Amino acid sequence: MRQGKRLLGAFVMCCFVFLSTSPAMAQSQNEPRKKSSVKREQLNNGLIQAASLGDTSLVGTLICKGADVNARDAENMTPLMHAALNGHEDTLEYLIDKGADLNLVDVFGVTALMQASWSGHTNIAETLISYGANVNEKSSGQIPKLKKKGITALMAATLTGDYDMAQLLVSRGADLDQQDEEGQTALTYAAKGGYDRIAKLLLANGANMEIRDQFGRTPLIIAAIHNNIGVVNSLVNCGANINAKDFNDLTAIRYASALSHDRIHSLLTHAGASRSARGYRY
């Protein structure tokens, strides 16, 4: 009798093991997990959208329901990045209060501070910095909007000609002499874009005037090429080397001559630039 009971127990156990490992049983067990995963993804997507729109109330509701405050979209942008990009300060502060990571990067290596810097949201940038955002982080990929790789928030602000943003970043300790993948600094960008106020700001705070880009060009040479006389004047007044040569053995005055930038040529001549060069036009 006892042996019969033992055999019956063993049979029941085998049946249970068989059923629990069958495809139907496994699918049944995985179903709640799948539903949970789908729900979490929906919450995260909703959170990203709400942050982008600046709907702080909905952001709070979704986080309370389990949305990840550091959720990512297809480009690895977080809710904080979307709030920064679109200038939603209240939403941004709420996300920070809920534990959002300030220094995460998207697929291009861009932080929330960089997003704010080229979007012109000075108040957002100031808030991020005050909470500990890294002001000198460099992007690791080429940013489609700016078509640049290895840039900082300061470079982004200079690229867009945003003096107020540049001033904020400089005052918060931005490294003035960091270089992008092409060897360009914030001062290089100011020289190329003709942003004389930003150039003066950078020079007043000690920016290096002689850093060369990938072609060996200094900010003065670049300003001369792009006919930006205001920046040329600022650089000359601050003591830039007016006879510096690029990798093609060309100086600022040589470029001014070749490109018929007569006012810059005259300015450099009066500043004492050397005109002893083969093929010189004047």
In this prediction, residue 205 carries a pLDDT of 99
Give the tens place of pLDDT for each residue, 124-136.
999 999 999 999 9
State the residue for tokens 């990929």.
Answer: 141
65 is a domain residue: no
149 is a domain residue: no
Give the tens place of pLDDT for each residue, 141-176.
887 777 888 999 999 999 999 999 999 999 999 999
118 is a domain residue: no
Tell me the average pLDDT of the chain. Answer: 89
Q: What is the CATH number of the domain that holds 198?
A: 1.25.40.20
Give the tens place of pLDDT for each residue, 26-52.
555 566 566 667 688 999 999 999 999
Give the tens place of pLDDT for each residue, 88-111.
999 999 999 999 999 999 999 999
- Tell me which residue range forms the domain holding 225: 183-282
In this prediction, residue 6 carries a pLDDT of 53
Alpha carbon of 281 to those of 101, 224, 278: distances in Å? 57, 16, 9
How many distinct structural domains can be found in the chain? 1
- Whether 15 shows a pLDDT value over 50: the answer reads no
215 is a domain residue: yes
> Rounded to two decimals, what is the model's pTM?
0.84
- Whether 232 shows a pLDDT value over 50: the answer reads yes
207 is a domain residue: yes
8 is a domain residue: no
193 is a domain residue: yes
214 is a domain residue: yes
